[in-house]
Amino acid sequence: MKQTVFAVITVASLFLGATSCSQQPSAKDQTTVPAEFTISKEKLMDKIKGGWAGQTIGCTYGGPTEFKYNGTMIQEYVPIVWPDGYIKWWYENVPGLYDDVYMDLTFVDVFDRLGLDAPVDSFAMAFATAGYTLWHANQSARYNILQGIMPPASGHWLNNPHADDLDYQIEADYAGLMSPGMPNTASEISDKIGHIMNYGDGWYGGVYVGAMYSLSFISDDIEFIVTEALKTIPEQSTYYKCMSDVIRWHKEYPDDWKRTWFECEKKWSSDIGCPDGVFVPFNIDAVINSAYILIGLLYGEGDFYKTLDISTRCGQDSDCNPASAGGILGTILGYSRIPDYWMKNLREVENMDFAYTTISLNKTYQMGFDQALQVIERNGGSVSGDEVTIKCQQPVAVRYEKAFEGMYPIEKVAVNKNLSDVGELPFEGTGAVFKGFVNAKDDKYVAKVEMYLDGELVETANLPASYTTRRNDLFWKYQLPKGKHTATFKWLNPRNDVSVHFGEILIYSDAPKEIVPVSYTHLTLPTILLV
């Protein structure tokens, strides 16, 4: 999910499409979740390792294309490389690529240190004080926590303008991997931790991904897994409706993933909440990116290459989406059945710690296995010798919640002024987000700024200059009475060597803006150009 421009790596690419690189699991046309499931410790460990391995491989495969293809797919003639030593190169040169994994590990580590009953604040503080850089809902949550706004308020859309983004979706893998065959337990874990940074559809992305991982321990039927896992999501949600559409379109167009991609773009690609994803092709919303995970899984048909390649070629967050798809399929297949073509690169790094951690993949495998055994026993299962019996769970929908309800982006206004020159900022609608940043050489500096709406003080905000602890958006205010409003700002601790820069205002109303067609038939060319 990084906002990083990755360098193009000029290495020879191997043509992957010529041969199948994986063994397909034997689909069993499963229709129900069993009441009980028995698995050997060896097989359980194999699947847990497969989940973490698949996630790491998928993240690497899609890394160079991340957010370079927004609102468009990656065509087949564009090579996506997999040279020898590839994962190790990323580990050593761009370790931030693996935020999908090391952020998971923040939560895995807390469970390891404090146990299954660790309070939510322990996860929140570990996440907020970690040394890695964050973006979108994660960064907004970090800022909130450091300012004393703890979960679930830290992820609520009124406090987090990025609440619908995919942040928890990309870091929920651990919840499913530690809850084999127990999707509701995975949902409970995600309820606690996922609301640190997300709400509504953003949270549902993590719930769904976690449920798919969970069910991948007890089934190798991909259609069953994706359909059954969707029962954890409320049917009235936008998220549920989109995933249902993808499953339906796959049945209608079973040999044409691009047709399903086009249908998704037509119906589900409009972003409402994220201030960075409105009025532009960039889309980090959980709904559309989850659809790409699902397209990869369904059309990949159990083939590891096809699954990664399709979920990557769908575009947008094209490292995170194949990471989730690869992790889920890796759990289905197990570590031992991921083709060596992929594994030889992974084996080079399994003893190397991920950036910002003291945890390697080999350590992760063991931690994940130990936690899974604990969760199994806590939920009525048993461990006897080499045999593990899981009390499976019929998926149940989590509670319904919706962010940004009744809000419609109607205008984006350029400001491009420092606070000292801003003066009054008028807008008409029911809400506004003021985008910008603090520019200071001293990254310990924190600007203290008051925001007034219609002459009344509504907030005094701390605005850190540090990129690690920054506030994503300078100010925002939703649920205003519909009408004309004026925003003004007062800088309480100004410095000559610091600027508080306002970039844009994103304006919302309670209904979409009416687009009035303009007739050009009566106009001359110079007039048309001025319209």
pTM of the model: 0.93
Q: Is 381 exposed, middle or buried (0-12, 13-18, 19+ CB in 10 A)?
A: buried
pLDDT tens for the 531 residues of the chain, in order: 655 433 333 333 333 333 333 333 345 578 899 999 999 999 999 999 999 999 999 999 999 999 999 999 999 999 999 999 999 999 999 999 999 999 999 999 999 999 999 999 999 999 999 999 999 999 999 999 999 999 999 999 999 999 999 999 999 999 999 999 999 999 999 999 999 999 999 999 999 999 999 999 999 999 999 999 999 999 999 999 999 999 999 999 999 999 999 999 999 999 999 999 999 999 999 999 999 999 999 999 999 999 999 999 999 999 999 999 999 999 999 999 999 999 999 999 999 999 999 999 999 999 999 999 999 999 999 999 999 999 999 999 999 999 999 999 999 999 999 999 999 999 999 999 999 999 999 999 999 999 999 999 999 999 999 999 999 999 999 999 999 999 999 999 999 999 999 999 999 999 998 877 766 665 555 554 454
Q: What is the pLDDT of residue 2?
A: 58
CA distance 371 to 178: 6
How are beta strands 456-464 and 446-453 bridged, if at all? antiparallel
CA distance 61 to 307: 11
Q: What is the pLDDT of residue 514?
A: 83
CB atoms within 10 A of CB 521: 4
Backbone angles phi, psi at 105, to 5 degrees: -65, -25
Q: How many helices (H) and strands (E) does the chain have?
A: 18, 11
Backbone angles phi, psi at 71, to 5 degrees: 75, 10
Sheet holding 408-418, edge to edge: 408-418, 498-509, 431-440, 475-477
CA distance 329 to 394: 21
Q: Could you tell me the two tokens for 105?
A: 């590990």
CA distance 125 to 139: 13
CA distance 340 to 145: 43
Residues in the chain: 531
Which among 127, 96, 294, 150 is positioned nearest to 211, based on CA atoms? 294
CA distance 516 to 524: 20
Do 285 and 273 contact (CB within 8 A), yes or no? yes
Domains of the chain: 16-117+221-391 (no CATH), 408-509 (2.60.120.260)
Do 141 and 193 contact (CB within 8 A), yes or no? no
Per the rule left: phi > 0, alpha: psi between -120 and 50, beta: everything else, 67 is left
CA distance 372 to 48: 9
Do 503 and 435 contact (CB within 8 A), yes or no? yes
CA 71 to chain CA centroid, Å, is: 17
**Residue linked to tokens 């191997």:** 14
Q: How many CA atoms lie within 13 A of 106 on its CB side?
A: 27
Q: What is the pLDDT of residue 519?
A: 63
